[in-house]
């Protein structure tokens, strides 16, 4: 599979538009132009900010792609070491891996956690900024889309956590694919004793859900834009803690966001950058 960064096309075309901005030296000799100059400058600053955020996300996903390649190399060293030790002692059940290889693996995962969390925040921020910019609000993630779910998970579990509700797990897993996707939500593992307590509490309140129904209910709750985390009911909090909360898909969300930027914001970038005061 050939790797292509989701934000590459948008950034390339937006920078072509930025090159069309012309100077406004007349503003210093004609004070009547100042209000229009200030208004246009503020729009330029907004455009630059959004493009800069897209560039940061571009770097973020490039690095996550690199980390996946590096992780494959580290895993190959793990496997080679185990294979050699098995060859030397076929009956062996415990294996020794060098501290240096283990440390490199840990650094890769720690960096991935930081980058994925950053991506969640920046993608959510771009959507929020452009929802305000466009009136009526045409810049919206598609209903039931990956981006909509990512924003909901970011808002409810990363930015506004409530101790009595579900909070992210500090010891979560990861998925290795085109990118190294660290599971920053980490809500798919439990201590059986604790989960059974949550399920018993739900049952006592008349709520009986199997794992599939519980996960689906959590998806809907995460997507609900009108449900603020501090207003969750006790049953909703127990539900979030008792059932799986699927990890968002950052790469699919990035592709959706890049498509929205190209479709809706790129024409605005072109219009603003070609606007002249006179």
For residue 163, pLDDT beyond 70: no
- Structure token pair of residue 61: 């996903």
Confidence (pTM): 0.88
Task: Report long-range pairs for 46-51 (Cβ below 8 Å, ≥24 apart).
Answer: 46/129, 46/133, 47/14, 47/18, 47/268, 47/269, 47/272, 47/273, 48/18, 49/129, 50/126, 50/129, 50/130, 50/261, 50/265, 51/11, 51/14, 51/15, 51/18, 51/269
Average pLDDT of every residue of the chain: 89
Identify the three-state secondary structure at position 161.
coil
Chain centre distance of CA 254: 8
Confidence of residue 278 (pLDDT cuts 50, 70, 90): low
Going from the C-alpha of 149 to that of each of 56, 157, 186, the distances in angstroms are 21, 12, 15
For residue 171, pLDDT beyond 60: no
The whole-number average pLDDT for the span 179-194 is: 86
The whole-number average pLDDT for the span 207-217 is: 95
Confidence of residue 82 (pLDDT cuts 50, 70, 90): confident
The whole-number average pLDDT for the span 171-190 is: 84
Confidence of residue 164 (pLDDT cuts 50, 70, 90): low
- Structure token pair of residue 150: 């990512």
Question: What confidence tens digit (pLDDT) does each residue in 222-261 have?
Answer: 999 888 888 899 999 999 999 999 999 999 999 999 999 9
For residue 16, pLDDT beyond 60: yes
Burial string for 194-224 (b: 16+ CB within 10 Å, else e) reads eeeebbebbeeeebebeeeebbebbbebbbe
The whole-number average pLDDT for the span 145-153 is: 95
Confidence of residue 57 (pLDDT cuts 50, 70, 90): very high
For residue 146, pLDDT beyond 60: yes
Give the residue among 241, 221, 219 at the shortest CA–CA distance from 229.
221
For residue 161, pLDDT beyond 70: no
């Amino acid at each position: 599979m050939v790797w292509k960064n989701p934000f590459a096309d948008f950034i390339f075309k937006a920078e072509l538009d930025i090159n069309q901005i012309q100077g406004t030296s007349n503003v210093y000799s004609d004070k009547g132009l100042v209000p229009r100059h200030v208004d246009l400058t503020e729009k330029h600053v907004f455009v630059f900010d959004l493009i800069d955020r897209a560039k940061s996300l571009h770097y973020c996903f490039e690095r996550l792609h690199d980390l996946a390649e590096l992780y494959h190399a580290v895993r190959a060293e793990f496997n080679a070491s185990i294979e050699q030790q098995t060859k030397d002692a076929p009956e062996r059940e415990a294996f020794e891996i060098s501290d240096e290889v283990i440390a490199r693996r840990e650094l890769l995962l720690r960096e991935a956690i930081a980058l994925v969390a950053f991506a969640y925040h920046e993608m959510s921020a771009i959507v929020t900024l452009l929802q305000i910019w466009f009136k009526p609000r045409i810049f919206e993630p598609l209903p039931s889309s990956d981006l909509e779910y990512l924003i909901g998970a970011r808002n409810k579990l990363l930015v506004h956590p409530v101790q009595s509700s579900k909070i992210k797990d500090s010891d979560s897993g990861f998925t290795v694919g085109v990118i190294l996707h660290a599971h920053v939500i980490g809500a798919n593992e439990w201590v059986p004793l604790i989960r059974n307590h949550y399920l018993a509490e739900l049952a006592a309140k008349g709520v009986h859900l199997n794992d599939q129904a519980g996960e689906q209910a959590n998806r809907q709750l995460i997507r609900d834009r009108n449900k603020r985390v501090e207003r969750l009911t006790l049953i909703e909090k127990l539900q979030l803690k008792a059932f799986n909360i699927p990890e968002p898909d950052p790469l699919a969300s990035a592709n959706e966001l890049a498509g929205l930027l190209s479709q809706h914001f790129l024409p605005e970038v072109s219009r603003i950058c070609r606007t002249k005061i006179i």
